Chain A
Amino acid sequence: MTTDLSTVAGEPEKGEQARGAGPILEVEHLIMNYRTKDGYVSAVQDVSFTIGRGESLGLVGESGCGKTSIAMSLMRLLPENAEIQAGKIVLDGDNLLELSDEQMRRRRWTDVAMVFQGAMNSWNPVYRIGDQIREAIDLHWEPKPTVAVANARIAELFELVGLDPAMMDRYPHEFSGGMKQRAVIAMALSCDPKLIIADEPTTALDVIVQEQVLEELRSIQHDFGMSIIYISHDIAVIAEITDHLGVMYAGKLVEHGLTKDVFARPRHPYAWLLLSSTPSVTGPRLKLSPLEGEPPDLVSPPTGCRFHPRCPFATAQCAAEEPPMEEIEPGHLVACWNYEQVPEMKAASA
């Protein structure tokens, strides 16, 4: 429905387009609230971004800043008390918010798959891992494959993520945490999705396994040319594996651009504080600047810029008016009145 998409609409083979041929996903002015006893919680406030085919986007921010809410909105798997008030989520040409529940159900996993936050518990304990992956294949492949064909595919996926194919006949409790996470990745790939959302894919794992799993994800994305959204509170993890980076604060996207640009020259004060408070082992020592104050109460968010109560550069304007997203250099957007005040990073090591 947007002009960019018309150019790719007729492409016969998905997943093979050159990078940047046209956005696979466009999120426009998404507004999402939760109804609670105390009032509406404004969880996602006017968020827009696009992801091109084969590109990866990282979303970072403190917990409760709305990144997972965005992921849930993309899957349309919001809890009952959540409602999307306005906006569009256009995936490969169709606005997901206009689909019927049944249409949306069919699209899950074929269009957008997910690698979950708590891989430990994302497997049903009473079924074999292979059977659970085959459930997804049986639901979405056209025509439905025979058990042998599906099993062959699962074996292939297991090898791809570095698991022994014989493990597919095992139950979840026989898998270690890292193995479960690999199996989750295998399951996410089982229906060749156009987009994968990886929501804190490695938080529950120990550091060495984290590295391996991330590496796996990156190489798979590279080989298959699919798009990925990484969601994490850990900016260091995201920086290594994404092309684009979005920084979220209190339900708003405050800075968005190429990862290397945002890393080298964060322009939003929050992104700047976040980046300068991340210690780097390899780079020169930085003086950690702690973020003062608490994240705001989203039932009654601060007026104007939501970050102004904690912002070292805040002015009267910040409290009164909401700053728009502004393109400060090609592809680098910031929502701040005073982005010019934000100093350069002392050590640009990204």
Chain B
Amino acid sequence: MARYLTIRLLQMFVLFLVFLTILFFLINAQPGDISAQFVGNPDIPPEAKQILRERLGLDRPLFAQYLFYIKNVLTLNLGVSFDHYPRTVADILLTALPRTLYLFLSATILSYIVGFQTGKMVAWRRGSLAEKGTMVTSIILYTVFYPWFAILMLWFFGSQLNWFPLGKFLTPAQWFDAPYTANMVFNTMLLTMFIALAGVGLVIWGTNRFIAEPVQRTRARRMLFALIAVSMLAFWLISPMSRFAADIAYHTVLPVTTLTLVFYAAITLLTRSSMLETLREDYIFTARAKGVPEKVIRDRHAARNAMLPVTTSFVLAIAFVIGGGIVTESIFSWPGLGLTLLNAVRVEDLPVAMGALAFIGLLALFAHLVADILYAFLDPRIRVQG
């Protein structure tokens, strides 16, 4: 396992370097000197142009420029924004990153949990009305043109029903006497989310390792999960930040739901076919012959194995969620990496655009790594090399 992880980490690092190389040549293949593009732009002070020239090392040979670029990215020395001069790119991106992470994480986790359960149930009750209904809904959600769907969601729930705010990150009126910045509150939210996730992971690992008896294990798990949920709730009830956190959370409901719905449909379709495949396996027959109750066969034998291909598919899904995330951020004015990228592209703020792209690439690689680790945990054929 340790060896597997080391290899994976190394691979990720190499992949990131390759990605940066592609970015570098993308800029360089452009006709003309980049800084020349901004000569006519009076908003950019001459120092910025000089900084850009220096940062990109435009006077040096190409290979030296390349090494310089890689070094700069790896040390987060991404330069200064043209549009928000003199804010540094790193500062802009580090503010946006947690917001994208939040959207990405909540949509992914929610859609995986709900989609997996739905897919499992409909595969189990193949041919039922519930299955057909779910399939039709899922195919519609899966094939719908996502930006259009997001606009419709915003129109219907935000404007028509007036249930949710029309995008944006918070309600400014509520924040003016706030003792915290939005980022502080938001990062605390994200942190508690991470702690809860780590807790859940720890509980699953610990119970698997130390409790052999399945019934006791399930009982212990439920109790510990409840404990995590209660302590999270308690923290947010007591915390003075909760009023502001609630405002942010309220603004996240619609974008997260919209992104989740589409992703959920994909997971449902995938789980269903994976589950149908698994149900044909010999070991399902073995379990039946052993007299294992049907529900246990579904959950412990079939669904547990159907999880493997669904986890693998996450690698393909990363690009899907990231793309969907950008669209979501743009339509719901959610100030994350995607919106930052789009705005930077619109005003030709090249340092920010390239930085955002590098960050998004890093996010994708990291998600890939997490999926790999998760897969190794789920599949003993990788966890325990025979």
Give yes or no for direct A-B contact (beta carbon below 8 Å).
Answer: yes
Measuring CB to CB, which residues of chain A are less than 8 angstroms from any residue of chain B? 75, 77, 105-110, 113-114, 116, 118, 120-126, 131, 135-136, 138-140, 147, 170-171, 173-174, 187
Task: Kindly name the residue among B212, B301, B305 whose own CB sees the greatest number of chain A CB atoms within 10 A.
Answer: B212
Given contacts A122-B282, A171-B381, contact A105 B289 (CB under 8 A): no
CA distance A107 to B384 in the complex (A): 35
Are B289 and A147 closer than 8 Å at their CB atoms?
A: no
B171: which A residues are within 8 A, CB to CB? none
- B133, CB-defined interface residue at 8 Å: no
Are B283 and A123 closer than 8 Å at their CB atoms?
A: yes
CA distance A116 to B286 in the complex (A): 8
- B240, CB-defined interface residue at 8 Å: no
Q: How many residues of B contact A (CB 8 A)?
A: 25
Are A135 and B381 closer than 8 Å at their CB atoms?
A: no
CA distance A235 to B384 in the complex (A): 40
- From A107, A109, A118, A138, B282 is in contact (CB under 8 Å) with A118
- B281, CB-defined interface residue at 8 Å: yes
**B10 shortest CB reach to chain A, Å:** 25
Given contacts A106-B291, A124-B287, A138-B214, contact A173 B380 (CB under 8 A): yes
Measuring CB to CB, which residues of chain B are less than 8 angstroms from any residue of chain A? 212-214, 281-283, 285-293, 301, 304-305, 308, 378-381, 384, 386
CA distance A139 to B291 in the complex (A): 8
**B381 shortest CB reach to chain A, Å:** 5
Given contacts A147-B213, A174-B384, contact A116 B301 (CB under 8 A): no
Are B292 and A135 closer than 8 Å at their CB atoms?
A: yes
Can you list 15 pairs linking A and B with CB atoms under 8 Å apart?
A77-B289, A105-B293, A108-B290, A109-B291, A116-B282, A118-B282, A120-B282, A121-B282, A124-B301, A125-B380, A126-B305, A136-B290, A138-B213, A173-B380, A187-B290
CA distance A113 to B289 in the complex (A): 7
CA distance A320 to B360 in the complex (A): 78
**A106 shortest CB reach to chain B, Å:** 6
- From B287, B289, B380, A171 is in contact (CB under 8 Å) with B380
Are A125 and B291 closer than 8 Å at their CB atoms?
A: no
B213: which A residues are within 8 A, CB to CB? 138, 147
Are B290 and A139 closer than 8 Å at their CB atoms?
A: yes
Given contacts A122-B282, A122-B283, contact A105 B305 (CB under 8 A): no
Task: Kindly name the residue among B282, B290, B292, B384 whose own CB sees the greatest number of chain A CB atoms within 10 A.
Answer: B290
A107: which B residues are within 8 A, CB to CB? 291
CA distance A284 to B301 in the complex (A): 51
Which residue of chain A has the shortest Cβ distance to B301 in the bound complex? Answer: A124
Given contacts A171-B384, A174-B386, contact A124 B286 (CB under 8 A): yes
**B131 shortest CB reach to chain A, Å:** 15
CA distance A265 to B196 in the complex (A): 75
Given contacts A109-B289, A116-B286, contact A124 B305 (CB under 8 A): yes
- From B287, B379, B386, A126 is in contact (CB under 8 Å) with B379
A135: which B residues are within 8 A, CB to CB? 214, 287, 290, 292
**B61 shortest CB reach to chain A, Å:** 52
Which residue of chain A has the shortest Cβ distance to B381 in the bound complex? Answer: A173
**A208 shortest CB reach to chain B, Å:** 22
**B267 shortest CB reach to chain A, Å:** 20
Task: Kindly name the residue among B213, B289, B381 whose own CB sees the greatest number of chain A CB atoms within 10 A.
Answer: B289
**A77 shortest CB reach to chain B, Å:** 5
**A229 shortest CB reach to chain B, Å:** 14
Task: Kindly name the residue among B293, B305, B380, B386 whose own CB sees the greatest number of chain A CB atoms within 10 A.
Answer: B380
- From B291, B378, B386, A108 is in contact (CB under 8 Å) with B291
Task: Kindly name the residue among B213, B282, B293 whose own CB sees the greatest number of chain A CB atoms within 10 A.
Answer: B282
A122: which B residues are within 8 A, CB to CB? 282-283, 285-286
B291: which A residues are within 8 A, CB to CB? 105-110, 136, 139-140
**A143 shortest CB reach to chain B, Å:** 14
CA distance A216 to B258 in the complex (A): 61
B304: which A residues are within 8 A, CB to CB? 124, 126
B381: which A residues are within 8 A, CB to CB? 125, 171, 173
**A79 shortest CB reach to chain B, Å:** 10
CA distance A183 to B36 in the complex (A): 74
A75: which B residues are within 8 A, CB to CB? 289
CA distance A110 to B291 in the complex (A): 9
B282: which A residues are within 8 A, CB to CB? 116, 118, 120-122
CA distance A113 to B380 in the complex (A): 27
Are A77 and B285 closer than 8 Å at their CB atoms?
A: yes
A136: which B residues are within 8 A, CB to CB? 290-291
CA distance A122 to B378 in the complex (A): 19
Which residue of chain B has the shortest Cβ distance to A140 in the bound complex? Answer: B291
Are B293 and A126 closer than 8 Å at their CB atoms?
A: no
Supply 20 further A-B pairs (C-beta < 8 A) apart from A77-B285, A116-B286, A135-B287. Answer: A75-B289, A105-B293, A106-B291, A116-B282, A122-B282, A122-B285, A122-B286, A123-B283, A123-B286, A124-B286, A124-B301, A125-B283, A125-B305, A125-B381, A131-B212, A138-B214, A147-B213, A170-B386, A171-B381, A187-B290
